[in-house]
Structure 1
Amino acid sequence: MFFADREEAARQLAGVLKGLGLERQVVLGIPRGGVVMADVIARELGGTADIVLARKVGAPGNPEYALGAVNENGEVFLQPYASRVADESYIKAEIGRQMQVIRERRRRYRAVRPKEPLEGREVVLVDDGIATGSTMEATLTAVLAEKPSRVVVAVPVAPPEAVARLRERAEVVTLSAPPDFVAVGAYYRNFPQVSDEEVTGILQRWAVQ
């Protein structure tokens, strides 16, 4: 399955989510592509929207290849292969770099849109796709710690093994789980980078709703 862009994928996800009987839901987008998705889904469902922060721990010389991820609580999730790809000192330094990015984004984004409380709420956790699952697992852990009443992970595309892991901890809605998964961007015809300025603009709209 291929998607024209994030907006089309988000509308398709919203169509499935409408059948789940969600109430008073908070739609959380993972910056930056997931925020574009959350914006569309929240409008389609009539819910509240917010962000949740996590960062990929990238491999040496290939930052897009995830060795794991870290969430804004500082919890680290490493893939089993991480120690074969990078040594401990690199991984520790990379975690520090990504935590600094999280702190900076939190400062910038929260100045625009204060955090939405999640306790007792139904939450839809959104990204534009899952590759290794590291970032989503780290994010899901942070969200569950806030004791929502229900969590639904919603993504357009993800590898089957990542979907299976996540389903042990939350409901999962995915439009496609190809067994020969390549990379998230391979399933979109138009998959541009999302800038911090775009995210800030979306947060400003949410803040006045």
Structure 2
Amino acid sequence: MPTMPKSLFWTRTDTAGSEHAVLDDRQGFAAQGVALAVDPIPYTCRYRLAVGADGVTSRLEVETEGAGWSRSVRLERAGDGWRVRTGEEGDLDAALRAVGHPPAGLPGTDEPERLAEALDVDLGGSPLFNTLPVRRIGLTRAPADQARQVAVAWVLVPGLAVVPAEQVYTSLGPGRIRFASGNFTADLDVDPDGFVVRYPGLAERVGPR
């Protein structure tokens, strides 16, 4: 695999954890990363992402693992929809129940047709994935107060269930973007390339910028 020219690192502010991504955004967008967190249970998440020159995601592969379990999901664009493949070993739900957390259910989705309108993907707990719709719709160059609604395939972590979600991104002026999904909102600080610098209540970027 070719080397990646960019490296981004975030530390989680909602729990003990971090994320490191290496990426190449010179033609399209390719990234691979590792995220670590202890909530709801300690886990490692590895992902590989491919986005076309038009800004539309073409493939996402995610693997999660913890004590006594591992899971994987692969989303690949196929025609006007998505093909979803999954793998599972061990018993994640038993590990979650042991700490009083609701079970995660099965990875993936039984209804991939519900993802048909999604041009972007979102990986739970990862500030990198907010960059995808921001760059695709050119929001860093948009006038203040311009809002855009997007449909995403949302991958929940650590269980890797995939659900359709509607999100709204609003330009707040240079370096500021409001993210909203359902009743949740957060005002993100982003750099000129659309990468998150600070996501209140989730993560902050550290290291060279």
TM-score computed with the length of structure 2 as normaliser? 0.33
Select the structure with the greater relative contact order (CA < 8 A; seq sep ≥ 6). 1
* Structure with more of its chain in strand, by fraction: 2
What is the TM-score when the length of structure 1 is the normalising length? 0.33
